Structure 1
Amino acid sequence: MAPRRGRARQIVDGYAPLKVTLRQVMCRLAAEGVLPHTPPMYRRLSAQLAQARREGRFLDLIDTIRQVHVPPAWPSAGAFVAEMPAWFRLDRTAGQKQALYVAAEKDTHQQLTGWLEFAGIPVLVVRGFSSQSYADVVRDRVAHEQREAHRAVVGDFDCSGEDIERDWVEHTGCWSSVTRVLLAYEQVRTYGSPATKGKSGDPRWPAFARRYGFDIERGRLRRTRNLRGSPGATPPPASDIYSVGRVIAWALTGQTPAPNLPLLLAPCPRPRAQHCQSSNPPRPLQATPERR
């Protein structure tokens, strides 16, 4: 397991100063053939890397679910006032004829939010089939902007991901265009992304498999985390963010950016409040817990 830990450390170091999730590390290792992509191996890798982190021999990974929720607090009123200027920001999309939204499945949104913050691009969180309340919030926001809204989708290439996208478009009904950035069938064919076990128990799977020529019985499909790049945006080694940067640059300018340009700026200053989640305005989109 030591060689695997060493390669895992190289993968995590390659993303610095950004952080990655355990699942991303697992899928990179599986894509390289270092270990099999199985639940037992995932649990074993999790235990090994957790022990290494406790011993100070491995970098921290992102936990996208568990957080400590603490109300914001400051040592004094003066400290609060001193940090207020760092909160101020203008809407960088103001005055543009078109608005771009990026929709991301599951835990991908946390990384996309950090990557796209400098450009002021909203990120929509898609965890399965969303409630009508959340769809109404998004539709009302788009209507308030009074400009064309375009939606870029980052999601798994599987039967549920395809149906979730269809459901979202149908219930929001506010998009001038919807483009699947990652993962698309053409990308699977172009780059030969490694297959993972599909959702063969999903009633939508047979029709999806027949449509794209997959093995219905074995249930093999492709996931976004196993693909490194898209046509026209192939990243250098260990740099998934490069692809996202080129896609966003293309969406903002309508032109393919020149290679090797620094597409992402330095992170914006953040208030140093004693809390675990940012309280910076504007407030994120919210929806009631009503289920669809």
Structure 2
Amino acid sequence: MRPIVAPFPAARLRRTRQSGAIRALVQENHLSAADLIWPIFLRDGEGVEEPISSMPGVVRYSVDRAVEAAKRAHDLGIPVICLFPYTDPALKTVDCTEAWNPENLSNRATRAIKAAVPGIAVMTDVALDPYNINGHDGFVDNGEIVNDRTVEALVKQALSQAEAGADIIGPSDMMDNRIGAIRAALEGAGHKDTMLMSYSAKYASAFYGPFRDAVGASGALKGDKKTYQMNPANSDEALRLVERDLQEGADMVMVKPGMPYLDICTRVKTTFGVPTFAYQVSGEYAMIKAAAQNGWIDGEKAMIESLMAFKRAGCDGILTYFAPEVAALTAKGV
């Protein structure tokens, strides 16, 4: 419904912008630590915090340091931490069996975090690319990323993560029917309370580059991911994908990347009214950080403004590498 506005001077719309106190009183959207999911990267070793050059301020954590990071996140009020492994290249194979190894890096970190910080929720990633020598999210057969055989593997990966104690499983692969297959397998194995946050509208984006550095996938990818990730020109297709995933048993849905696809976030939330998340991806983070380091923008203000855009678009939460910085600021009332 369009609001009715009286003519000037009865309506002076600047009246509600005249001071900080009044601006706060009429502010429509708010950002807090409770809106955030913090993605972190893992690597083998002990006492390791390895900087990622293309993502200033972001590191790869060994499991012991990941536990410390989870404690810090919990203390800041961040409700969820999301794990992404940097897999030893020697463990990357064509059959991707490390993906469902109970002792793989992600599963070990999940168990350690849940034991040390039971109050924080752990989210994990379901896709084969961290374990695939071809760098793809699915199996490659004669140059084709095959769907059904990949889904069988994703089910095994999801079950191993649920058994390790993951609270939320995030299938990011974009294979058809993987939500239905994973949900059925979780129910059958007794993991009825394990949640699925589906990467329902994941676009074949140029903004993922630094992430691929972080997980060691840069240079490994043969070809591109356009046969399974979405065309950036499409919008209606995103709604079909979200609807299908909800029908198959997704509890929450995600749009990825974030800021270039705010229109998709709004359409998803308005159409379905379900818990809707966006991933402020590595390229978005790196651009803000790089511009701030060069003195071209105020990094802190740009960070908050970028995240408020997700709330304004209708998102219930945001996956962002800025999570600890934002949580610390919002605790101070910034």
- TM-score when normalising by structure 2: 0.26
Which has a greater percent of strand?
Answer: 2
